[in-house]
Amino acid sequence: MAVKTEKELSEALRALWLKAVAAIELRNFGYAISLLQEILKQEPQFLTGRELLRRAEVTKSKSAKKSFFNISTASFTVMNAQRKIKNDPKRAVEILEKVLEKEPYNRQANLVLKEAALAAGWPEIAVFALRTLVEENPRDIKVLHALGRLYHQLGDSDQEEEIYNQITAIDPLEAEALRLGKDASARGSMKRGGWTQAESYRDLIKDKEEAISLEQQSRLRLTGEALDQQIAETYARHNGTGKCRSGATLRRVERAKGGFRGGNRLVSGRCQFN
């Protein structure tokens, strides 16, 4: 499913969104977080809202005072969310957001968020969960590999290649990343060149009429009608200048046909018109 944009929000949710943005500008992060959580309960695919929510949570957590006697229950909450993924992935995402409110970089919560988002059919949110962990630790090779595999599943070869290049920059001897990065690069090149969508070589040539023409030239036995068409196309390409790009091609056509039927003839590779 595609992500939702601000324009696709209902009027009521758009009003909450504007209030959340204003609250963040005023550095009232707690209020902004509560508003954004409410929006995401109703529109979980609103990726921009989730990104802003995480930014607010990260900023708030960095400014909060650390308590030595604060015992985290995040692991239990994450386990609860994980149990719900199969039957109710949307609810699992909501539970995980409660953990991420206080610990936005919680590794296990983000990894399970990725699983829940994929189960719900929200791959962009799965990518966002792993990107959050990479933001916190850009050298986490295990997470980078997971992100590379996810981009591969989504068919995003360019991003996949970028991730594997990032891994090899960290560890140049990482053979698997080197191999997967090369594979992703090849797929990206093929996709940009149109090879993956092409059903035949004709689809790879912008001028399909010329593809048909080239195919006709390669046939050993041509019908009289096809030869007439080939001759007409060749002359038309030169705008009646009397000069041919390929006299050799026309000579082959003439030999195959036994000479032109009309008043046109070939002389040393040049076209003459009577």
Cβ–Cβ contacts within 10 Å for residue 142, how many?
10
pTM of the model: 0.68
In this predicted structure, what is the pLDDT of residue 100? 96
Q: What confidence tens digit (pLDDT) does each residue in 82-121 have?
A: 999 999 999 999 999 999 999 999 999 999 999 999 999 9
Q: What confidence tens digit (pLDDT) does each residue in 144-172 have?
A: 999 999 999 999 999 999 999 999 999 99
In this predicted structure, what is the pLDDT of residue 214? 54
User: What percent of the chain has pLDDT above 90?
Assistant: 60
- Which of 59, 70, 72 has the alpha carbon at shortest distance from 99? 72
Task: Taking residues 227-254, report their average pLDDT.
Answer: 53
Band of residue 130 on the pLDDT scale cut at 50, 70, 90: very high
Cβ–Cβ contacts within 10 Å for residue 12, how many?
10
Domain limits of the chain? Answer: 6-61, 208-272
Cβ–Cβ contacts within 10 Å for residue 90, how many?
16
Helices (H), the chain: 11-25, 29-42, 47-63, 74-84, 89-102, 107-120, 123-136, 141-154, 157-170, 175-193, 208-218, 224-237, 247-257
What DSSP letter does each residue of 170-189 carry, written as one string? H-TT-HHHHHHHHHHHHHHH
88: left (phi over 0), alpha (psi -120 to 50) or beta: beta
231 vs 237: CA distance, rounded Å = 10
Instruction: Kindly state the DSSP code that residue 265 receives in the 8-state scheme.
Output: E
In this predicted structure, what is the pLDDT of residue 64? 74
Q: What confidence tens digit (pLDDT) does each residue in 181-226 have?
A: 998 998 888 877 665 555 555 555 555 555 555 555 554 444 555 5
Q: What confidence tens digit (pLDDT) does each residue in 59-69 have?
A: 999 887 766 55
